[in-house]
Amino acid sequence: MPSFPPPKYPIEFYLESQSNDRFVYRVSDLEELEKQHRQEVIRRLDQCHIYLLCKRPRVWIVSDSVVMDGSVVKFEVAFRQVGVERRFQTSLDQEFVGFPGTCLDVSPYPHRSIIARDSDGVQVGETLLANFVHIMPGLPSEVRDLEVVYVGKGLRRSAQDRLRHHETLQRLLSDVSASEPDKEIFALVHSFEMRKPMMALANAQAIITGDVAAVRYQKVLAYRPPLAHQVALIEASCISYFQTGAYNSHYIRFPEGSYQFLNPVRDADFAALVVQLDNTNIGGQRVYSSTVPPAAIHYIVNDFRIPDGHLSFLTSVSE
């Protein structure tokens, strides 16, 4: 049997930020969000304070390729990869692109949408292809997945408000336009709920017990960070995890170093700082970076026990 070091406390706590709402949209649609969505959706968007700027190939619909097959709309999409055009057959359920009885057509150049028209030829709906690429079958991962290139936060109102006045976004748009003209930028925005789960390590003799452990227990219970600190912890964890150093100049080696928003976490001696980035509810949108493989759910873990030589509640025993 493997031998493990003793735990630090009989009961361990970790600080977890779990995403409880999320949206993805093209940055070019930022100013149209309030026109495109109901007020309830805008209210939820305004609760999202963390954003990931991502890129992927720009896609369009091949003209005259849209056909109805029962309740499924079939069509061909195209995109360019390193300047070379690639085409793939794909489909969407009719519920995403129109109502029964409507006629479907491709929007004018650059052919980014499917238009639904009634029997009189009047447009009654428009479906932007870019919003559904990640759920369309038959497409390669390089066009469905989003590559994370920058992580940021917006506190004055929301992530949207911050993006409207963002120098780094403008630099990123300029860089992509110059060096990757066949790609476009998306914003993946999240809101989070912070929790303090506990775990008792059974049959393990802790190093710190008694009154000292009781004082630490009270510190954990008393820890109630302001929103600015909560968001900063999530932002720093995501930057360090995705290693977005090309556009993020800070937090690349987090949690190494001293930070005002991290000091209370260390003072309360949490066992770990965990961020759960979950895109399941937006069609399982997968994201990745140059150092992180694609996934719809990312668990970002900063473990404070293992570096100090203590048993971690995250340690898994495979034998």
For residue 31, count other CB atoms closer than 10 A to its CB.
10
The least confident of 199-203, 231-235, 239-243 is 199-203
Please classify residue 82 by burial: count the beta carbons closer than 10 Å to its beta carbon, then call 0-12 exposed, 13-18 middle and 19+ buried: exposed
> What's the pLDDT score for residue 157?
61
Q: What is the DSSP string of 204-255?
A: ---SS-HHHHHHHHHHHHH----HHHHHHHHHHHHHHHHT-TTT--S-TTTT
For 48-67, the pLDDT digits (tens) are: 999 999 999 999 999 989 99
pLDDT at residue 58, rounded to an integer: 95
pLDDT tens string 277-313: 999 999 999 999 999 999 999 999 999 998 888 888 7
The residue-averaged pLDDT of 88-108 equals 85
Domain ranges within the chain, ordered by starting residue? 11-57+145-308, 59-140
pLDDT higher than 50, residue 318? no
Least confident window among 116-125, 138-147, 205-214: 116-125
Q: Residue 205: its pLDDT value, please?
A: 86
Rounded Cα–Cα distance for residues 307 and 6 (Å): 13
Q: What is the dihedral of CA 39, 42, 46, 48, to 10 degrees?
A: 140
pLDDT at 51: 93
The pLDDT, as a whole number, for residue 156 is 61
Say if strands 103-106 and 67-69 run parallel, antiparallel, or are unpaired: unpaired
Q: Is the pLDDT of residue 258 over 70?
A: yes
Smallest CA-to-CA distance from 163 within 182, 192, 130, 189 is with 189
Share of the chain above pLDDT 70, in %: 93
Summarised one tens digit per residue, pLDDT across range 169-214 is 888 989 998 999 999 999 999 999 999 999 887 777 889 999 999 9
